[in-house]
Amino acid sequence: MTGVAAGPADTGPAVALPAVGPGPGEADWAAAVAAVRGLPADARVLLICHVNPDGDALGSMLGFGLGLRQLGVRRLQATFPGPPEVPEPIRGLPGMDLLVPEADADPAPELVVCFDAASESRLGGLVDRLETAGAALVLDHHASNTRFGGINLVDPRAAATSVLAEELLTRLGVTLDAAIAECLYVALTTDTGSFRFEATTPAVHELAARLLATGIRPGDISRRVFDTRPFGAVRLFGEVLCRARLEPLAAGGHGLVWTYATLDDLARHDQRPYVLEALIDSVRCTAEADVSCVVKQVRPAEWAVSMRSKGAVDVSRVAVALGGGGHRLAAGFTGRGTVEDVVAGIRTELDKALIEA
């Protein structure tokens, strides 16, 4: 997600989802604690988060890594698949020294821990570590999670993966310090849209209180992570928002608003692709549409698609049908062909999702 630069990557699951299974049981927590506590003194541990990391993916991973370091784990690496570029807004997170490029990641660590990835496909070329590692632990909160680890701490009701990371750290006896807290706070605010989304429960605010009690500065963090972007990105947003289309009859009359951005748009404004992650937050404001969508060119005929819903449509169904995944109110997939091809596919799947609902 992600809305790394400005707000929500994952809205997290909305409340009252009937299909959502229970979170981890005591046996799962005990297995996860044992997997860490049972590591030999010189054990190699590899942390992996999903491709194109957002605030929750990177923040959960680095916060957990700093916690492991506090416990004395020394041979520790954090990584993610694909280009080793971290979006500017989250580049200043504590624990960045743990990060290594995919190519340098340990081929056979004693323990691998995966963060915020709903399925193996989100691990790209690092997926083989699930086989080569001594044990594989998965921390995630996507309803569509396929439980691909040997130990799975998956809670679809959790607002962010960082909620699970903090609980495991606490069970391991780690003391929250300001560095760990900053990572987990960025993760939590990213996925709750700064406490605006439905998954913002009392427990989320209690977690935020524990994190803030370490002395981290929420104003500074939010300005850096959500409210800062280059002037070129401001102008690029203006252009891309101007070409947005509203289709009130789409999605069974609930309405669709969408826009797109090309590689040429990025080049003209001298911007990196991650600046576009925040665009969906401007598009989804549209009152006349339940569903919003931003189609971002990745390669000539390949597009990263972000979708949001206000509740009438389950966009994760649309995303899954088109080869992606996500949550009921925030989902995405990789589209092929022209922009029109991609949007045509979305229109079709939106209608199907409504019929099946």
**Binding residues for ligand AMP, per CB under 6 A?**
1-3, 9-10, 118, 306, 324-327, 330-334
Nearest approach, Cβ of residue 93 and ligand AMP (Å): 18
Give the chain's end-to-end CA distance (angstroms, integer): 25
Query: What residues between 108 and 127 interact with Mn ion by CB under 5 A?
Result: 116
Nearest approach, Cβ of residue 56 and Mn ion (Å): 4
Strand order across the 44-49 sheet: 75-79, 44-49, 111-115, 135-140, 151-154
Q: Is 155 in the site for Mn ion (CB under 5 A)?
A: no
Nearest approach, Cβ of residue 85 and ligand AMP (Å): 15
Q: Choose which of 3, 6, 45, 56 interacts with Mn ion (CB under 5 A).
A: 56
For the chain, the C-alpha Rg in angstroms (whole number) is 19
d(CA 288, CA 334): 26
Name, in order, each residue with C-beta under 8 angstroms of 232's C-beta and a sequence gap of 6 or more. 269, 270, 271
Residue/partner pairs of 177-181 with CB below 8 Å, 24 or more apart: 177/66, 177/70, 177/214, 178/94, 178/214, 178/215, 178/216, 179/66, 179/94, 179/95, 180/63, 180/66, 180/67, 180/70, 180/94, 180/214, 181/63, 181/210, 181/211, 181/212, 181/214, 181/216
Q: Choose which of 57, 90, 111, 211 interacts with Mn ion (CB under 5 A).
A: 57
CB 112 within 8 A of CB 48: yes
309 binds, among ligand AMP, Mn ion, none (CB under 5 to 8 A by kind): none
57 binds, among Mn ion, ligand AMP, none (CB under 5 to 8 A by kind): Mn ion
Which of residues 151 and 329 has its CB atom nearest to ligand AMP in the complex?
A: 329
110 binds, among ligand AMP, Mn ion, none (CB under 5 to 8 A by kind): none
* Number of residues forming the site for Mn ion (CB under 5 A): 9
5 binds, among ligand AMP, Mn ion, none (CB under 5 to 8 A by kind): none
3 binds, among ligand AMP, Mn ion, none (CB under 5 to 8 A by kind): ligand AMP
Which of residues 213 and 301 has its CB atom nearest to ligand AMP in the complex?
A: 301
CB 343 within 8 A of CB 332: no
Q: Choose which of 47, 54, 67, 317 interacts with Mn ion (CB under 5 A).
A: 54
The residue with tokens 């790209």 is: 124
Q: Is 10 in the site for Mn ion (CB under 5 A)?
A: yes
Residues engaged in binding Mn ion (CB under 5 A): 1, 9-10, 54, 56-57, 116, 161, 191
